[in-house]
């Protein structure tokens, strides 16, 4: 009799930096369940996302592709929904992870936020869907829900709601032991933007943070690059006032406390899902993954939010560093910390490896299986992560962070280079120092070589390609490639 393939539970949260967990050394974060999970799993300390925006990273984890391959370069904005094809699914042309798993006999479920086109189109990829009708989070409460054929408004906290639905799903499939399942549980929290986290928290973890000085978040002045971004949006008549809050939020204690409290609600959901697996005797036959779509700068480097919230965009650590904890099936109480540089696309390959499916060809996908790192196998690992944020492409190694900027524009963008050994906080840009010219040359060559492989000319912005749905810098690409430049589908 063939051995049953492992169940897969991937909890994929929204805007959670890798540093805000107790097990990551943050004494103000309250994450007892993640801390406990890390004691019987593999904690990756150097996991990074390919793009510091929601939709691109969700596409990358489901396809194993970079943004310049799948075409989603920023968050998919429902403001442009009238321009979308009917029932548009942004990754419909790819053979996605849930579709591959379904062909192997898996039941597949998306429970939570989708944010890859029309929410109804999630059923193109998953057999069961309980999701929000829009991807953009305005509030954790009173969200409009798509639940199969039902449509309704749920009054309570969205994390609690999706946790309840996930537990119902696990309980159901515990009765069908021969059918493995893939549960993609995508919490729309902690999120990190107004109005969702504006003001002091009012949830069940509010008291824990009510008097917290939030010393784990450094207070900094607003950076010139953050101010420049707001200024250019106003100059291009693209700011409706929504972006101005990015200059108001940093150093706001109520917002920081609220944000940390939402992380605790996420942690509580993780604990309840783990308990459901244990109660149904499924824990030892389940591959359990906790990760975030991307990180979040809480004022570090002088900006709040994402890598695209400066001009030019950046790939500083806080916005791209994600939490990643993986508990392999039948892993017992094995505790391990891995410092190798890994990325979002590697999650895709790791799942395929544990299921026994063929790995994508190296010329098709940059995804690498982390299974050898988890299981202490001898492996030659390229200790590097590659990232892109429209006009910025970057490589992070154990010593260097190099941000390369597109050059054929009127803005005279400068490259940036940081020595992570001498300058771990990424404060001193040495890219223009002649002493480091050779380093800049070598890292530039690596980036150019990488994107010569992992870019589709249709979606390669640096060579005149388009984006799907929208760009946060449409003026830049029109000015660079001409007025005919436009998003495609």
pLDDT (tens digit, 9 = 90+) per residue, 443-456? Answer: 999 999 999 999 99
Predicted local confidence at residue 3, as pLDDT: 67
Residue 285 included in any domain: yes
Range of the domain at 44: 7-382
Residue 471 included in any domain: no
**Total domain count for the chain?**
1
Residue 414 included in any domain: no
Q: How far apart are CA 306 and CA 302, in angstroms?
A: 12
Predicted local confidence at residue 240, as pLDDT: 73
Residues 176-207 have pLDDT tens digits of 778 899 999 999 999 999 999 999 999 999 99
Record the pTM: 0.97
CATH, residue 302: 3.40.720.10
Residue 292 included in any domain: yes
For tokens 């999970």, the residue is 37
Share of the chain above pLDDT 70, in %: 99
Host H or E run for residue 479 = helix 474-481
Number of other residues whose CB lies within 10 A of the CB of residue 138: 13
Number of other residues whose CB lies within 10 A of the CB of residue 413: 18
Cis peptide before 190 (omega within 30 of 0): yes
pLDDT of residue 1 exceeding 90, the answer is no
Q: How far apart are CA 131 and CA 137, in angstroms?
A: 12
Q: How far apart are CA 236 and CA 475, in angstroms?
A: 7
Residues 45-57 have pLDDT tens digits of 999 999 999 999 9
Residue 483 included in any domain: no
Residue 431 included in any domain: no
Residue 415 included in any domain: no
Predicted local confidence at residue 175, as pLDDT: 76
Predicted local confidence at residue 403, as pLDDT: 98
Predicted local confidence at residue 232, as pLDDT: 95
Share of the chain above pLDDT 90, in %: 93
Residue 459 included in any domain: no
Q: Choose among 285, 343, 374: nearest CA to 42.
A: 374
């Amino acid at each position: 009799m063939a051995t049953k393939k492992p169940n897969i539970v991937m909890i994929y949260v929204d805007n959670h930096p890798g540093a805000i967990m107790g097990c990551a050394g943050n004494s103000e974060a309250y994450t007892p369940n993640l801390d406990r999970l890390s004691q019987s799993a593999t904690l990756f300390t150097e996991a990074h996302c390919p793009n510091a925006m929601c939709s691109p990273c969700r596409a990358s984890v489901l396809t194993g592709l970079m943004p310049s391959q799948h075409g989603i370069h920023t968050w998919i904005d429902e403001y442009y929904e009238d321009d979308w094809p009917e029932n548009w699914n942004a990754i419909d042309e790819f053979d996605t992870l849930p579709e591959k798993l379904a062909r192997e006999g898996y039941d597949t479920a998306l429970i939570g936020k989708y944010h890859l086109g029309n929410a109804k189109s999630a059923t193109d990829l998953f057999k069961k869907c309980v999701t929000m009708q829009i991807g953009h989070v305005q509030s954790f409460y009173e969200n409009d829900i798509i639940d199969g054929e039902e449509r309704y408004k749920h009054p309570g906290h969205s994390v609690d709601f999706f946790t309840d639905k996930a537990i119902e799903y696990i309980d159901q499939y515990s009765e069908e032991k021969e059918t493995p399942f893939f549960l993609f549980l995508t919490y729309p929290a902690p999120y990190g933007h107004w109005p969702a986290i504006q003001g002091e928290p009012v949830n069940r973890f509010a008291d824990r943070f009510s008097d917290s000085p939030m010393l784990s978040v450094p207070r900094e002045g607003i950076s010139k690059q953050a101010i420049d971004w707001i200024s250019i949006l106003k100059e291009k008549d693209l700011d409706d006032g929504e972006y101005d809050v990015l200059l108001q939020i940093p150093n706001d204690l109520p917002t920081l406390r609220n944000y940390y409290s939402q992380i605790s609600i996420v942690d509580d959901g993780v604990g309840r899902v783990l308990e459901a697996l244990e109660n149904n005797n499924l824990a030892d036959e389940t591959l359990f993954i906790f990760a975030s779509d991307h990180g979040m700068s809480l004022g570090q480097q002088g900006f709040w939010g994402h890598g695209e919230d400066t001009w030019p965009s950046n790939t500083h650590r806080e916005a791209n560093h994600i939490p990643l904890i993986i508990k392999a099936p039948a892993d017992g109480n094995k505790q391990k910390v891995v410092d190798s540089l890994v990325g979002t696309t590697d999650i895709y390959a790791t799942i395929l490896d544990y299921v026994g499916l063929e790995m994508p060809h190296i010329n098709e996908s940059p995804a690498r299986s982390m299974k050898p790192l988890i299981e202490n196998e001898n492996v030659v690992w390229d200790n590097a992560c590659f990232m892109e944020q429209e006009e910025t492409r970057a490589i992070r190694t154990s010593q260097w962070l190099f941000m390369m900027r597109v050059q054929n524009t009127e803005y005279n963008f400068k490259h940036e280079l940081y020595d992570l050994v001498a300058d771990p906080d990424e404060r001193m840009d040495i890219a223009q120092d002649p002493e480091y010219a050779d380093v800049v040359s070598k890292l530039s060559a690596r980036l150019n070589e990488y994107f010569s492989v992992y870019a589709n000319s249709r979606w390669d912005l640096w060579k005149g390609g388009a984006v799907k749905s929208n760009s946060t810098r449409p003026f830049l690409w029109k000015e660079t490639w001409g007025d005919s430049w436009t998003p495609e589908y």
